[in-house]
């Protein structure tokens, strides 16, 4: 018997007493475990900023009135000349500056994305306890390659999109969407524990949170 047959046999045995008419949604799953360790309100934003900083990324909190200027300053500070902006990014948030904006329509090639200096995106939400951004390919996020190939990722998030912990995040996310979890710049310490950044994604990550 193969491993596959063994595994399926065990699953069938475990489900042997389930009535054939029962559906998954008929069974209540206990959810009385602790939902978050991050507190509420300002505590959540503070924890998120602290955790993101642990990954050598930055977090700036700005009011929406100052968002465009903050984004422009960040891009200028990083010396960006070619900027990828995914479809659906709010036009009123897009700063002007000494850089060329690249839209993904028609679809940018891998070489074009690799040559771009930065990507400016939104995110589906942030997780405070782990300092994680989650992208789901929604408006302003685009396909996964857009936020993996440019070496600098500048991400905009509203304050009400930051949740305390992973269980809260999973309740908000649609599991049918292509989810990308980003905890800081891409990095690895596989070889002799020497940290190398930019191996599988952007070397630099900045997050701007819109507070009001």
User: Domain 38-210 has what CATH class?
Assistant: alpha beta
What's the mean per-residue pLDDT of the chain? 91
- Do 125 and 164 form a contact (C-beta atoms < 8 A)? no
What residues have CB less than 8 Å from 56, skipping those under 6 apart? 184, 185, 197
Domain limits, the chain: 38-210
Q: What integer is the mean pLDDT of 48-71? A: 94
| DSSP string across 131-159 | TEEEE-S-TTT-SGGGGTSSSEEEEEEEG
Q: pLDDT tens digit string along 149-201?
A: 999 999 999 999 999 999 999 999 999 999 999 998 877 777 777 777 777 78
pLDDT of residue 157: 96
CA 39 to chain CA centroid, Å, is 21
| DSSP string across 24-88 | GGGSPPP--S---SS-STHHHHHHHHHHHHHTT-EEEEE-GGGHHHHHHHHHHHTT-SEEE--TT
184: how many CB neighbours lie within 10 A of its CB?
22
pLDDT of residue 192: 78
């Amino acid at each position: 018997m193969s491993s596959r047959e063994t595994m399926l046999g065990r699953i069938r045995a475990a489900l042997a007493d389930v009535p054939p008419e029962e559906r998954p949604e008929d069974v209540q799953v206990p959810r009385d475990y602790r939902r978050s360790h991050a507190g509420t309100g300002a505590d959540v934003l503070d924890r998120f900023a602290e955790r993101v900083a642990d990954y050598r990324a930055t977090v700036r909190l700005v009011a929406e009135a100052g968002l465009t200027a903050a984004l422009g300053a960040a891009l200028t500070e990083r010396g960006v000349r070619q900027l990828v902006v995914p479809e659906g990014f709010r036009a009123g948030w897009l700063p002007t500056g000494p850089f060329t904006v690249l839209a993904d329509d028609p679809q940018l090639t891998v070489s074009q994305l690799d040559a771009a200096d930065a990507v400016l995106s939104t995110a589906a939400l942030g997780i405070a306890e782990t300092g994680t951004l989650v992208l789901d390919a929604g408006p302003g996020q685009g396909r996964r390659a857009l936020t993996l190939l440019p070496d600098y990722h500048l991400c905009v998030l509203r304050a009400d999109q930051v949740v305390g912990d992973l269980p809260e995040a999973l309740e908000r996310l649609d599991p049918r969407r292509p989810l990308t979890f980003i905890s800081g710049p891409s990095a690895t310490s596989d070889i002799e524990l020497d940290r190398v950044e930019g191996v599988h994604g952007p070397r630099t990550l900045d997050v701007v949170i819109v507070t009001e």
